[in-house]
Amino acid sequence: MDDIHADNTRTGRSAVMPGTGQQTTDRRSLRLAATLLVAGVVVSVAAGLLHAESHDANDHVASFTAYAGSDIWTGAHLGQFVGMALLTVGLIALWAALNTGQGAAAWSARFGALSAALALALYGALQAVDGVALKHAVDAWASAAEPEKAMRFATAEGIRWLEWGMRSYQSFMLGTALVLLGVAIAATRRVSRFIGYLMALAGAAYWVQGWIIGTEGFAAANALPTLAGIILTVAWTVWLLISAWQSNEKAAGHGR
| Residue 20 counted as domain residue | no
Give the DSSP letter string of 84-129: HHHHHHHHHHHHHHH---SSHHHHHHHHHHHHHHHHHHHHHHHHII
44-66 residue pLDDT tens: 999 988 876 767 888 999 999 99
| Residue 65 counted as domain residue | yes
- Looking at the structure of the chain, the number of domains it has is 1
Whether 112 and 176 have beta carbons less than 8 Å apart is answered as yes
| Residue 4 counted as domain residue | no
| Residue 147 counted as domain residue | yes
Burial class (CB in 10 A: 0-12, 13-18, 19+), 146: exposed
| Residue 99 counted as domain residue | yes
Q: Cβ contacts of residue 105 below 8 Å, gap of 6+? A: 183, 184, 187, 188
| Residue 37 counted as domain residue | no
pLDDT of residue 190: 82
Q: Cβ contacts of residue 112 below 8 Å, gap of 6+? A: 91, 95, 176, 177, 178, 179, 180, 181, 183, 184
pLDDT of residue 248: 45
The residue range of the domain holding 135 is: 48-251
How far apart, in whole angstroms, are the C-alpha atoms of residue 201 and residue 199?
5
Give the chain's mean pLDDT: 86
| Residue 43 counted as domain residue | no
pLDDT of residue 54: 67
| Residue 29 counted as domain residue | no
pLDDT of residue 255: 46
